[in-house]
Structures are given as structure tokens and as C-alpha cells.
């Protein structure tokens, strides 16, 4: 998969490697960064729980610990990228995720298992979307929207590629072998990729800002604290829903009567749906404010989750809707703050916004596991559907604040 970026990005890129190579390399790395961390428990949690005789909620709680570590690390990650650029930060993420995978593979008890997730969580904060968006914002400034969307296009294949791969690895070499395989990919593939395509120098973001864009930011009234809080709330709820469903989707489908192989096949529909939504967004992005991307995301997620809860005959259609919303969410996380607050200090802002999102993602899998164990799949889907509807309402409120006041309305290139 190769995606060519607009000439505006290529013309303003401060890196030695061509922009298309940088962005496509980061995108490829994202598939396995997500697949070997965030999406891992969806397939491996039950085999680990059975093999080690550990409570399922505790096994899934490893991801929650990792996300908690990520929430503490994310502001520091954003600040580091702002000051020094993304090369060493992303390289560190590959080492940390790979080391965490080795820790999982050799874990003899829950203490080692939990520590491995803490290590991996720091790597996730330094290497998943938030960090990549911060890097792209530093490299390309207000022209980063296409680059952000391109990276998310690749990331949309993470579950489609890695869920079946994980299931195959578990069946052939066990869950420990699967973890070692992903560690090899991180250390042997992702690490050299980051080191070879990203610049050695520090962040070029300030020098890279167009004079006209900088002047426009000075003339425009800055968004209020209330808007920043509402933005954080919508992004946080979106992240929580994504975390819970990414961890428990296969379990929920199996509880509805599907075998693991069928559940994996159905769950994999989310990946192409994410990519399709992102392709459409890329085609029409120049014509709308990113708040509409967030509204579409919240709406599609709510429709999809409500469809799963209602047990509609066309479960694949519900999963397609959910996947489309998830795909748009990732773009909104990167582009909406950039549109509202501009490129100056963008990496630091992304790191700070990520704190509440990572905290919510840390709690969501654990809450989901408790709901599944105590209330069952139907009640769990009812709860997440209600939360999704609340998020739609919050997004509408955010849009009203943006368009009813004199705030930045940049339609990013």
C-alpha cells in the first residue's frame, strides 16, 4: 500500500527522506504496533487465562495497567517530541513494546505479567497514534492532515492483519510463541525502520510554520478553556469505547453464539470499514471542518453498538458501522486539535489531551470484563450503547461551541 501525499507536504518537509516514504513507513509500523499491543488481548486473553489458570479479568487488566502507564507517560512523550523530534521517541517505543512482549512470553506469574504490560504501556504511549500525530504535526505543521489520515489508513488494518495472525500463532506455537514473534517484529523491523526514515535533528515545527499561518493564529481568538474541556471529554469517551470494544469484541460475539473462527472473521470486518471511512474522509477533507469528522465518528459508533445490542439480523452491518466510526475517530483525534489550536505547541497539546484518553482506556477493559462476568454480554452492550449516545450529544455541543463563537475554523489541507 503506497499513498502519495499532496505537494504542499513534500514542498515543506524538513526531513531528508521523502515525505511519502516517511508517512508510509510510519503507517506500516502502526499495523504491528497496534496489533502487538492494544489488540493483543482480544485473541490472547482467553488462552492465557486457561493456560495459566489466572482470572480472565486480571489477564485483561494487564492492558489496563499498560494504558495507565501510557497515560502517565503521554505528556512527557509529547514534550519530548516537541523539543527533540520523533526519531528517538518512536525508536524507544519499538524497544519498549518488544521488551514487554518478551516479558509476557516468559511470565511465570501475574506479577511479571503485570510488569511486562507496564513496560509495554510506556512503549504504546511513545509509538501509537498520539505520538505519530505529534511527530507528523512537528514535521508538516498545518499541512499534516493528509499525513495523519494516511497513517490511520494503515493502522486500520491492524486488527484485520493481527487478529487472524495471532489466532494462527496461538494455534501453532502457543501464546508465548505469539508474543515472541511480535517482539521480533518490533525489534527487527520497526526499530530499524524508525531509525532509517526519521530525521536525526530535533523538532522543526517552529521553523516549519508558514508566516501566514502564524499571523492568522495571532489574529484569531483562542479557544476557551470550556471548549478544551469539552474536546477532551469527547475524545476521552471515544477512546474508552474503542478500548473496551477492541478488547472484548470477540468475546461479545462468541457470547452471541459464534465460534472463535467466526467471531474473528466478523471482527475483522471492522478493519476494512475503518480504512474505507478514512479513504472517504481523505477525499472530502478539504471541504469540511474536522468537527464533522468527529460527529460522523460518534454517530457511526453509536449506530453500530446499538445494532449489536439489539441483535439485528445483519450483525455484519452493525460491525461495519462501528468500524467506520472507529476509523473516523482516529483522524479526529489528530486533526481537530490541530484545526482549533494550530501547529505551534501541537505535540505538547496532543500529549496532554492523551492523558485523560489513556486513563479512560485503562479503565474500560477492566470495567468491560467485570460487566461481562457479572451481567453478561447483552447488558454490557446496553451500557456501551448508552455511553455512545452520550458522546454524540457531547460532540453536538462541541460543534455548537465552535460555530456559534469566533473560534478558529481552519479546514486543513
Q: How much of the chain is helix, strand and coil, in % rounded to 5?
A: 85, 0, 15
In a domain, residue 328? The reply is yes
In a domain, residue 409? The reply is no
H/E element holding 392?
helix 377-404
pLDDT at res. 299? 92
Q: Are 110 and 99 in contact (CB under 8 A)?
A: no
- Residue 53 backbone zone (phi > 0: left; psi -120 to 50: alpha; other: beta): left
* Phi–psi pair at 344, nearest 5 degrees: -70, 120
User: What distance in Å separates the CA atoms of residue 65 and residue 44, rounded to the nearest whole number?
Assistant: 16
pLDDT at res. 195? 92
Identify the CA nearest to 327 among candidates 357, 301, 304, 346.
Answer: 301
Q: Are 291 and 169 in contact (CB under 8 A)?
A: no
User: What distance in Å separates the CA atoms of residue 286 and residue 254, rounded to the nearest whole number?
Assistant: 41
User: What distance in Å separates the CA atoms of residue 253 and residue 251, rounded to the nearest whole number?
Assistant: 5
Q: Report residue 196 CA to chain centroid gap.
A: 24
Residues with Cβ within 8 Å of residue 205, at least 6 apart in sequence: 82, 137, 138, 139, 141, 343, 344, 346, 347
**Residue 401 CB neighbour total at 10 angstroms:** 17
User: What distance in Å separates the CA atoms of residue 301 and residue 318, rounded to the nearest whole number?
Assistant: 9
Number of domains, the chain: 1
pLDDT at res. 410? 52
In a domain, residue 410? The reply is no
Q: Are 22 and 139 in contact (CB under 8 A)?
A: yes
Residue with C-alpha cell 479479568?
57
In a domain, residue 184? The reply is yes
Q: Are 1 and 272 in contact (CB under 8 A)?
A: no
Residue-number span of the structural domain to which 362 is assigned: 7-404
Q: Could you list the pLDDT tens digit for every one of the 413 residues in the chain? A: 545 554 444 444 444 577 888 899 999 999 999 999 988 988 899 899 999 999 887 898 888 899 889 989 988 998 888 888 889 999 999 999 999 999 999 999 999 999 999 999 999 999 998 899 889 888 887 777 788 888 988 887 887 788 889 999 999 999 999 999 999 999 999 999 999 988 876 554 444 444 344 444 443 445 677 888 888 999 999 988 988 887 788 778 777 777 777 777 777 677 778 778 888 888 887 778 888 888 999 999 999 888 888 876 778 888 888 888 988 888 888 888 888 877 778 888 888 888 888 888 888 877 888 888 888 878 888 888 899 999 999 999 988 888 777 555 555 55
Q: Are 141 and 32 in contact (CB under 8 A)?
A: no
Helices then strands (H, E): number in the chain? Answer: 19, 0
User: What distance in Å separates the CA atoms of residue 226 and residue 33, rounded to the nearest whole number?
Assistant: 34
Residues with Cβ within 8 Å of residue 406, at least 6 apart in sequence: 220, 221
Cα dist from 6 to 155, 342, 348, whole Å: 20, 19, 25
**Residue 56 CB neighbour total at 10 angstroms:** 17
pLDDT at res. 93? 95
In a domain, residue 129? The reply is yes
Identify the CA nearest to 19 among candidates 8, 30, 29.
Answer: 8
Q: Please report how the helices 129-140 and 145-155 are oriented relative to each other, as an axis angle in degrees rounded to 10.
A: 150
User: What distance in Å separates the CA atoms of residue 379 and residue 382, rounded to the nearest whole number?
Assistant: 5
In a domain, residue 1? The reply is no
Residue 64: half-sphere exposure toward Cβ, Cα within 13 Å: 19
pLDDT at res. 406? 59
Query: Dihedral (C-alpha) 147, 152, 153, 157: value to the nearest 10 degrees?
Result: 150
User: What distance in Å separates the CA atoms of residue 380 and residue 309, rounded to the nearest whole number?
Assistant: 8
Residue with C-alpha cell 445494532?
307
pLDDT at res. 222? 59
Residue 37: half-sphere exposure toward Cβ, Cα within 13 Å: 37
3-state secondary structure of 207: helix
In a domain, residue 117? The reply is yes
In a domain, residue 86? The reply is yes
- Exposure string of 179-198, with b = 16+ CB inside 10 Å and e = fewer, is bbbbbebbbeebbebbeebb
**Residue 76 CB neighbour total at 10 angstroms:** 14
Which CATH number covers residue 107?
A: 1.20.1250.20
Amino acid at each position: 500500500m503506497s499513498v502519495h501525499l499532496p505537494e504542499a507536504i513534500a514542498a515543506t518537509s524538513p526531513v531528508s527522506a521523502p515525505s511519502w516514504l516517511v508517512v508510509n513507513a510510519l503507517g506500516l509500523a502502526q499495523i504491528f504496533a497496534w496489533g502487538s499491543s492494544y489488540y493483543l488481548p482480544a485473541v490472547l486473553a482467553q488462552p492465557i487465562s486457561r493456560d495459566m489458570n489466572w482470572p480472565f479479568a486480571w489477564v485483561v487488566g494487564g492492558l489496563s495497567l499498560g494504558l495507565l502507564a501510557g497515560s502517565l507517560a503521554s505528556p512527557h512523550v509529547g514534550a519530548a517530541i516537541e523539543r527533540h523530534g520523533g526519531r528517538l521517541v518512536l525508536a524507544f517505543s519499538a524497544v519498549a513494546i518488544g521488551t514487554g512482549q518478551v516479558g509476557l512470553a516468559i511470565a511465570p506469574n501475574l506479577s511479571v505479567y503485570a510488569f511486562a504490560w507496564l513496560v509495554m504501556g510506556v512503549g504504546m504511549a511513545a509509538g501509537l497514534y498520539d505520538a505519530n500525530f505529534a511527530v507528523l504535526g512537528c514535521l508538516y505543521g498545518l499541512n499534516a492532515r493528509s499525513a495523519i489520515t494516511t497513517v490511520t489508513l494503515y493502522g486500520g488494518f491492524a486488527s484485520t492483519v493481527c487478529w487472524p495472525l495471532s489466532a494462527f500463532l496461538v494455534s501453532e506455537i502457543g501464546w508465548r510463541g505469539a508474543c515472541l514473534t511480535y517482539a521480533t517484529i518490533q525489534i527487527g523491523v520497526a526499530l530499524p525502520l524508525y531509525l532509517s526514515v526519521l530525521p536525526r535533528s530535533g523538532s522543526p515545527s517552529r521553523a516549519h510554520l508558514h508566516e501566514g499561518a502564524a499571523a492568522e493564529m495571532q489574529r484569531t481568538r483562542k479557544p476557551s478553556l470550556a471548549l478544551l474541556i469539552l474536546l477532551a471529554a469527547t475524545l476521552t469517551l471515544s477512546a474508552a469505547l474503542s478500548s473496551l470494544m477492541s478488547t472484548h469484541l470477540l468475546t461479545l460475539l462468541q457470547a452471541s453464539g459464534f465460534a472463535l473462527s467466526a467471531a474473528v472473521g466478523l471482527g475483522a470486518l471492522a478493519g476494512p470499514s475503518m480504512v474505507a471511512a478514512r479513504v472517504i474522509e481523505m477525499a472530502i477533507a478539504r471541504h469540511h471542518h474536522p468537527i464533522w469528522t468527529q460527529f460522523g465518528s460518534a454517530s457511526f459508533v453509536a449506530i453500530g453498538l446499538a445494532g449489536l445490542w439489539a441483535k439485528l439480523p445483519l450483525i455484519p452491518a452493525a460491525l461495519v458501522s462501528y468500524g467506520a466510526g472507529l476509523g473516523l475517530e482516529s483522524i479526529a483525534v489528530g486533526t481537530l486539535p490541530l484545526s482549533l489550536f494550530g501547529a505551534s505547541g501541537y505535540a505538547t497539546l496532543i500529549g496532554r489531551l492523551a492523558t485523560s484518553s489513556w486513563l479512560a482506556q485503562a479503565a474500560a477493559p477492566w470495567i468491560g470484563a467485570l460487566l461481562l462476568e457479572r451481567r453478561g454480554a447483552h447488558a454490557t452492550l446496553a451500557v456501551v450503547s448508552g455511553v455512545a449516545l452520550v458522546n454524540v450529544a457531547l460532540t453536538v455541543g462541541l460543534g455548537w461551541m465552535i460555530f456559534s463563537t469566533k473560534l478558529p475554523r481552519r479546514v486543513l489541507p
